Structure 1
């Protein structure tokens, strides 16, 4: 069973999640990286997101602790790419009279990282 975590009203992660959910590109990147870590190049190819926009959003999501670097790959021509994975498996937003609660379920399939 999933362990829900209620975010505090003044939490930076809460603010970052609300901002990310309001942006189509950020939502797409978050969805694409729940199950499997992906490079920005893979995300661009699979989702038809402009390269600069994808890098900008991934950087914002990583900075706000929604994504993490889950590894890296080096291509045959020596280019290094980081693989990003969503730290959150599920996000529940409850909106009502004078109430806005956010509950998250962390992505337990991920390894432990010093970035977390």
Structure 2
């Protein structure tokens, strides 16, 4: 479970193009070019929204190798759900992930080292 500021997350997912991309990659991982075609967006728009979504840790990026040996990146959603709550007079967004134990430990370790 991650806590993020509500403004940053809502600003990101409040964007129609970001929501289109997030919906597409929640079904299956896709490359930026595929997202541009499926969502009827320009490639620069797709890349800007991908960066916004990555900044909020809502998607992951991984490299795949094509049949011809070339590498390309695919993007996928990395959360199950989000919950907006009011705690101590402040709104919070919790992002729930379906990570395996080693991923959760790595993320916790990274957060501890960053503080």
Give the TM-score band, short-chain normalised. 0.5 to 0.7
Residue correspondence of structure 1 range 71-110 to structure 2 within 5 A: 71-74=63-66, 76=68, 79-94=70-85, 99-108=90-99
Counterparts of 1:90 and 1:49, CA distance in 2: 25
Q: Name the one with the larger helix percent.
A: 2
Does residue 52 in structure 1 map to residue 56 in structure 2?
no
Q: Deviations over 1:71-104 (max 9, x none)?
A: 323353x643201111222122347xx5523232
Instruction: Give the paired residue count.
Output: 103
Show structure 2 runs of 5+ residues with no match.
108-115
Runs of 4+ in 1 over 3 A off after TM superposition: none
Superposition RMSD in Å: 3.1
Separation in 2, partners of 1:55, 1:71: 15
